[in-house]
């Protein structure tokens, strides 16, 4: 009953926060927003990281690198010391300093002054929990947390893996013994040295399930390719290899560090080789830098010394993997909440994925985060949220009574919410900002917040103007990468310059570049084309625009023209077509669309092959379709 009480306390807490705070945001900011005990903290983490990036000052620095050759083996090394002082402390700030070093070194013969060799042992990884699977799938496969859990769910439903929502790293004795037998037969007795048992270190872990593992270790990933979809297969292979690796011995690596000196400059080369691959036999094969056999006193030639310019970079935006890891480190949320939390803050318009699939906050996220930090601090406080998780764990252990705990949380929360509902209005939370004056009209250029985010507007548009039927003043959306709090007058003028007429396309139509709800685009007659990240809508010229529009028209024509017409399908009695799609070639009978595998040339598809592909697609489990609530 303690576990039951902890679970229902968690659910009640989440509903108290979500159901009470979300309507407050609808009233004070805009409809469709939501707040939550975990999602609001995740959003704040992303917002705080973005502000760190915006405030970051870029600095220039230089490094000196060299390639050396010995016994026909070329290997790289970095300058680490100048006259016994570490380069990282001295700092090489300018090209002039770096070039002085390279010129001084030119033509020198280097002497090996130190060779350090040691063998290190690398322990096998633990089996997957929910969070570590999401982190690895994001880092290695580029899958989002939601995508990973969806694929793992399918594997679980078809009996391929054990339950995928778990924070346990333990494995069943039966499976451990079967794995040792499998390893002995397939990898060799030197890899079957006994079972490895793991214990979850997290104090509050709810170990109701095993770690995520294959249900049958003998089902090697190579034998599953024909029965699994490509993405499912990649997740299964990740789980199989990680689980088997957890039961293999440690790997042994030979690591070598070599110092090479000429005059008063010291370079260091690092390399390693595998003495015994151990768990690396199936998981994370090592790509080692190979060094030649070097001994102290050897002379080595520097064949290429270079000065390289670098710039300091701000902290990277969160990816799914790093956000999950940070939430876990803070002790916020449970394994089952990470994927839906990330999905929710994306669906609510708080967060977008940038071109590198990293999580970037929108303007509305910054507004809501500031509002919650200032007026509902506990809801987005990292320490408070972690303490709340600890309290829930204490309820599960029978150390804390659940009803008084809820009462202690809710009464001050409700009182504060009532006060803020009366005290705050929309204009206080999202005030307009005047950036300057429009030269043509003399009216102020305003930065405002609207239903779809921040936008620029020339002049005011009052309720009276609307009732009088006056035309709306000119307005423009912000360009991608612009944020409400950092927009300048120059940025605003650039946004207002759209739509722009780039000139005659040559066929009587004019090419226009404009900014739409989904980003910048080109329009010429009936043809439109999105402007991708390779081009800047502010600087794109007429000739480039013609090329982009031509490519878009060709793609559209290609997709409309079938690759092959194969006759009627015996099941649906409708024509079978092989077509080009947005995500690659596919077969269709007008009702069922089936992707053609990458290793099959779509032009070689026969009617029999197409029928078989369609039958298999119809027989596949239907994916659930979720409708967004209004």
- Backbone dihedral angles phi then psi of residue 152, each to the nearest 5 degrees: -65, -35
The residue-averaged pLDDT of 117-144 equals: 93
- Sequence-distant (6+) residues with CB within 8 A of 88 are 80
Predicted confidence (pLDDT) per residue in 57-101, tens digit:
989 999 999 999 887 888 999 999 998 899 987 889 899 999 999
| Statement: residue 284 has pLDDT above 80 | no
Q: In 10 A of CB 51, how many CB atoms?
A: 15
The C-alpha angle 329, 331, 334, rounded to 5 degrees, equals 110
Highest mean pLDDT among 26-30, 266-270, 326-330, 479-483: 266-270
Beta carbons of 111 and 133 less than 8 angstroms apart? no
481-509: per-residue pLDDT in tens? 788 888 889 989 888 888 888 988 888 88
Give pLDDT, residue 592: 92
Q: Are 35 and 379 in contact (CB under 8 A)?
A: yes
Q: Given this model, what pLDDT does residue 204 score?
A: 56
Pairing of strands 73-82, 519-524: unpaired
Give pLDDT tens digits for 503-550.
888 888 899 998 877 788 999 988 888 888 788 888 898 989 988 888
Mean pLDDT of 553-566: 86
Question: How would residue 123 be classed by pLDDT, with cut points 50, 70 and 90?
Answer: very high
**CB 279, CB 253: distance < 8 Å:** no
pLDDT reading at 319 higher than 80:
yes
Show the DSSP H helices in 305-362 as ranges. 320-330, 338-347
For 567: left if phi > 0, alpha if psi spans -120 to 50, otherwise beta; the answer is left
- The residue assigned the tokens 């669309």 is 593
Structure confidence at residue 31 (pLDDT) = 86
pLDDT in tens, 298-311: 999 888 899 999 99
Out of 117-126, 446-455, 618-627, which region has the weakest mean confidence (pLDDT)?
Answer: 618-627
Tokens of 195: 């079972």
The lowest-confidence range among 99-113, 286-300, 432-446 is: 286-300
265 as an active site residue: the answer is no
| Cβ atoms of 44 and 383 closer than 8 Å | no
pLDDT band of 480, cuts 50, 70, 90:
confident
Q: Is the pLDDT of residue 454 over 90?
A: no
pLDDT value for 629: 46
Structure token digits, residue 88: 């990282």
Which is catalytic among the residues 61, 128, 156, 163? 163
Give mean pLDDT, residues 386-396.
88
Please tell me the chain's helix, strand, coil percentages from 3-state DSSP, rounded to the nearest 5: 40, 25, 35
- Give the residue carrying structure tokens 């050897």: 298
Quickly state the pLDDT bin for 626 (edges 50, 70, 90).
very low
Q: How confident is the model at residue 417 (pLDDT cuts 50, 70, 90)?
A: very high
Burial group, residue 448, by CB count within 10 angstroms (0-12, 13-18, 19+): middle
Query: Cα–Cα distances in Å, from 528 out to 23, 289, 549, 550?
Result: 39, 49, 7, 10
> Which CA distances in Å does 150 have to 164, 339, 340, 388?
10, 10, 11, 29
pTM above 0.95, yes or no: no
Sheet with 584-588, edge to edge strand ranges: 564-568, 575-581, 584-588, 593-595
Task: Report the percent of the chain where pLDDT is more than 90.
Answer: 53
Residues 266, 81: Cα–Cα separation, whole Å = 5
All structural domains of the chain = 2-56+320-426 (1.10.460.10), 60-123+251-311 (2.70.20.10), 134-202+213-246 (1.10.290.10), 433-496 (no CATH), 500-560 (no CATH), 564-619 (no CATH)
Phi and psi angles of residue 339, each rounded to the nearest 5 degrees, phi first: -65, -50
Angstrom distance (rounded) from CA 153 to CA 162: 10
Residues paired with residue 458 on neighbouring β-strands, in sequence order: 445
Q: What is the pLDDT of residues 191-246, one digit of tens each?
A: 999 999 988 776 555 667 899 999 999 999 999 988 899 999 999 999 999 999 99
**Residues 32-66: pLDDT tens digits?**
889 988 899 999 999 999 999 998 998 999 999 99
Mean of the per-residue pLDDT values of the chain: 89
């Amino acid at each position: 009953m303690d576990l039951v009480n902890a679970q229902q306390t968690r659910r009640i807490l989440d509903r108290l926060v979500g159901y009470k705070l979300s309507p407050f945001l609808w009233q004070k900011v805009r409809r469709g927003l939501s707040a939550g005990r975990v999602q609001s903290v995740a959003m704040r983490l992303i917002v705080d990281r973005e502000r760190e990036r915006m405030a970051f000052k870029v600095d220039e620095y230089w490094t000196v690198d060299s390639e050396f050759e010995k016994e026909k083996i070329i290997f790289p090394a970095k300058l680490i010391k100048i006259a016994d002082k570490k380069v990282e402390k001295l700092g090489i700030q300018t090209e002039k300093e770096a070039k002085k070093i390279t010129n001084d070194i030119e033509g020198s013969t280097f002497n090996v002054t130190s060779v350090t060799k040691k063998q290190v042992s690398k322990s096998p990884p633990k089996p997957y929990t929910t969070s570590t699977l999401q982190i690895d799938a994001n880092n290695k496969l580029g899958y989002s947390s939601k995508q990973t859990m969806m694929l793992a769910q399918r594997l679980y439903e078809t009996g391929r893996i054990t339950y995928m929502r778990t924070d346990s790293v333990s494995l069943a004795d039966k499976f451990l013994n079967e794995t040792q037998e499998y390893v002995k037969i397939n990898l060799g007795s030197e890899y079957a040295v006994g079972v490895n048992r793991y214990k979850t270190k997290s104090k509050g872990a709810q170990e109701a399930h095993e770690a995520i593992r294959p249900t049958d270790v003998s089902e090697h990933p190579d034998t599953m390719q024909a029965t699994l979809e490509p993405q499912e297969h990649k997740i299964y292979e990740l789980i199989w290899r990680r689980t088997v690796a957890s039961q293999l011995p440690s790997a042994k690596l030979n690591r070598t560090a070599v110092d090479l000196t000429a005059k008063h400059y010291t370079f260091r080369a690092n390399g390693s080789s595998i003495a015994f691959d151990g768990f690396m036999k199936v998981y994370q094969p090592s790509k080692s830098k190979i060094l030649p056999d070097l001994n102290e006193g050897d002379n080595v030639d520097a064949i290429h010394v270079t000065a390289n310019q670098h710039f300091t970079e701000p902290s990277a935006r969160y990816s799914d993997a790093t956000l999950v890891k940070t939430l876990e480190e803070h002790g916020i949320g449970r394994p089952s909440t990470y994927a839906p939390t990330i999905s929710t803050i994306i669906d609510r318009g708080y967060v977008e994925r940038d071109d590198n699939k990293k999580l970037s906050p929108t303007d509305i996220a910054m507004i809501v985060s500031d509002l919650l930090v200032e007026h509902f601090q506990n809801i987005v406080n990292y320490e408070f949220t972690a303490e709340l998780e600890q309290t829930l764990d204490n309820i599960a252990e029978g150390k804390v009574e659940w009803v008084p705990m809820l009462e202690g949380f809710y009464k001050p929360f409700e009182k504060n919410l009532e006060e803020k509902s009366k005290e705050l209005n929309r204009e206080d939370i999202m005030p307009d900002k005047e950036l300057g004056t429009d030269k043509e009209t003399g009216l102020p250029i305003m930065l405002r917040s609207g239903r779809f985010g921040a936008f620029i507007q020339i002049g005011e548009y009052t309720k009276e103007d609307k009732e009088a039927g006056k035309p709306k003043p000119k307005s423009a959306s912000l360009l991608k990468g612009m944020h409400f709090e950092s927009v300048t007058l120059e940025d605003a003028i650039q946004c207002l310059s759209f739509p722009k007429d780039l000139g005659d396309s040559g066929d009587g139509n004019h090419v226009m570049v404009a900014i739409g709800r989904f980003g910048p685009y080109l329009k010429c007659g009936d043809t439109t084309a999105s402007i991708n990240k390779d081009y800047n809508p502010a600087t794109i010229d007429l000739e480039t625009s013609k090329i982009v529009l031509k490519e878009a028209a060709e793609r559209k024509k290609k997709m409309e023209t079938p690759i092959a017409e194969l006759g009627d399908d015996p099941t649906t009695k409708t024509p079978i077509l092989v077509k080009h799609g947005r995500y690659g070639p596919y077969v269709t009978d007008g009702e069922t669309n089936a992707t053609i595998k990458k290793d099959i040339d779509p032009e070689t598809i026969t009617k029999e092959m197409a029928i078989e592909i369609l039958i298999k697609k119809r027989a596949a489990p239907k994916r659930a379709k979720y409708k967004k609530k209004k």
